[in-house]
Amino acid sequence: MPTDLDRLFEHLRFPSISTDSRHVADVRANAEWLKGQFLAMGLQTELHETPGHPLVVARNEQIAGRPTVLIYGHYDVQPVDPLELWESAPFEPEVRDGKIWGRGGADNKGQHFVHLLGAEKTIQEEGQLPLNVIFLIEGEEEIGSPNLVPFLKEHVDDLACDIIAVSDTGMVAPSVPTLGYGLRGITCLEVTVKGPSGDLHSGVYGGCVANPATAAARMIASLHHADGKIAVEGFYDDVIALEDWEREMWAQVPGATNQDFLATTGSPVPFGEPGYSMAEQLWARPTVEVNGMGGGYQGEGSKTVLPAEAMFKLSCRLVPGQDPDKVQQQVEDHLRKHLPTGVTVEIYKGHSGKAYHNDPHSIYGKAAQAALAKSFGREPVLIREGGSIPIIQDMKEILGADSLMLGLALPDCQIHAPNENFAVENFEKGIEMSRELLKELSKI
């Protein structure tokens, strides 16, 4: 019989890259495989079609009076480029140095698969699950879940639940169980700065025509003060301040000192909004970041050209209190205000999602903490996450349920990058955590 690890490897071998049209068949094949796994467990399972990639929904017999947990995850993965930086083939998983190497191991196949295996082992040993369980595994999270919100609204009664469990976040350090109770939101913009009608000779015209690349650099530089604080007018107005208990608690979190973050990132010194530790900046303060920029000649050697246009991409991570649409407009207004003479600008507003926050001391939060403590052998730490999973806030607004974020990915797991990995220990303890979570939630 295949082991748990063998089955995870089967899951990881599907190149289910949702953003790449060349992999549409692979994404569907992965969804069909998941459907088969749930059916083999005896769960009622359906493959729901969407305008994009399919959703997999599985459930046990729903018994009135029992609590209901919805377990969310995604089976789609990020592209693997640059391929040459992988130490092993991204879709041929292997174990080295106590880690599972392969695309999707941590984000999110390994993490949601522990919940499938935890439920399966509970059924095998107890004959049934101790509460109502709904699995919702989508294939479009890596492209912003464009079809999940309509699905949730259409099936709101079928997906009614008391609490949502999500393992798509991280642990602060090895062997330190971590419960997340917040996520930063996000909003994105793409900016094109235009000057002359075509590229110009920088000797013939340089100095008398505005250079879009220089203008773009000046606009980017205007977004922050020299100390790292964001210079956009009104940007911090709606930010809800950190609670004192959070700052005190986070100062004690293992693996979350400034030195720990510098060691993980390879950065020489901290930088950012003054008055906050790196943990506080990551988990509870907003950002404006440049994700890409370009313009002019990019090839080898020199080409003395004055480019016709330049571009840059921005993302803003948001915290509770901030409205994505309002922030988008604030940033756009700032960029237009700081547009240099001699160029024009086009600004495209990209995808957005609100920040998420819940009470980690609720009855559900305490159940999650108990499950983490029993499976990892120590009390968990409570943190907010620096990343964004916009669909979690959407699920709260549509289904009326909060989410328990039971992250199992370590800081060096390389999600979205070459050499993604997932600790074998966390895979094994994650299965036990899932079983304990079902037990604890069933008591509520």
CATH code, 113: 3.40.630.10
323 and 224 in a common domain: yes
43-52 tens-digit pLDDT? 999 999 999 9
Q: How far is CA 5 from the centre of its chain?
A: 24
Is the model's pLDDT at 2 over the cut of 90?
Answer: no
Is residue 247 a part of any domain in this protein? no
**Residue 38, token pair as written in the block:** 């749930």
Residue 83 inside a domain? The answer is yes
Task: Decide if 123 is inside a domain.
Answer: yes
**Res. 389: pLDDT tops 90:** no
Residue 116 in any domain: the answer is yes
Last residue of a domain, one of 301, 330, 353: 353
Q: Look at residue 248 and tell me if it is in a domain.
A: no
CA atoms within a 13 Å half-sphere pointing along the CA-CB vector of 425: 12
**Which domain, by its residues, includes 128?**
4-183+355-442
In a domain, 244, yes or no: no
Average pLDDT score over the chain: 96
Residues 146, 11: one domain?
Answer: yes
**212-249, pLDDT tens digit by residue?**
999 999 999 999 999 999 999 999 999 999 999 999 99
Residue where a domain terminates, one of 318, 333, 353: 353
Are both 136 and 197 inside the same structural domain? no
Taking 90 as the threshold, does the pLDDT of residue 264 lie above it? no
Statement to judge: residues 294 and 307 lie in one domain: yes
pLDDT digits (tens, 9 = 90+) for 146-178: 999 999 999 999 999 999 999 999 999 999 999
Residue 270 domain-assigned? Answer: no
Q: How far is CA 273 from CA 225, 236, 277, 282, 285, in A?
A: 9, 11, 9, 11, 8
Same domain, 8 and 60: yes
* Tally of domains in the chain: 2
One domain, residues 58 and 117:
yes
**Is the pLDDT assigned to residue 351 strictly greater than 90?**
no
- For residues 284 and 120, what is the distance between their CA atoms, to the nearest angstrom? 37
Residues 62, 178 within the same domain: yes
Q: Is residue 308 part of a domain?
A: yes
As a whole number, mean pLDDT of residues 57-62 equals 98
Residues 171 and 304 in one domain: no
Q: 10 and 90: one domain?
A: yes
- Of 286, 28, 35, 216, which Cα lies nearest the Cα of 140? 28
pTM (predicted TM-score):
0.88
Pair (197, 325) in one structural domain: yes
Are 400 and 333 in a shared domain? no
Beta bridge partners of residue 306, listed in sequence order: 200
- The domain boundary, picked from 320, 353, 386, lies at 353
CATH of the domain at 345: 3.30.70.360
Does residue 57 sit in the same domain as residue 11?
Answer: yes
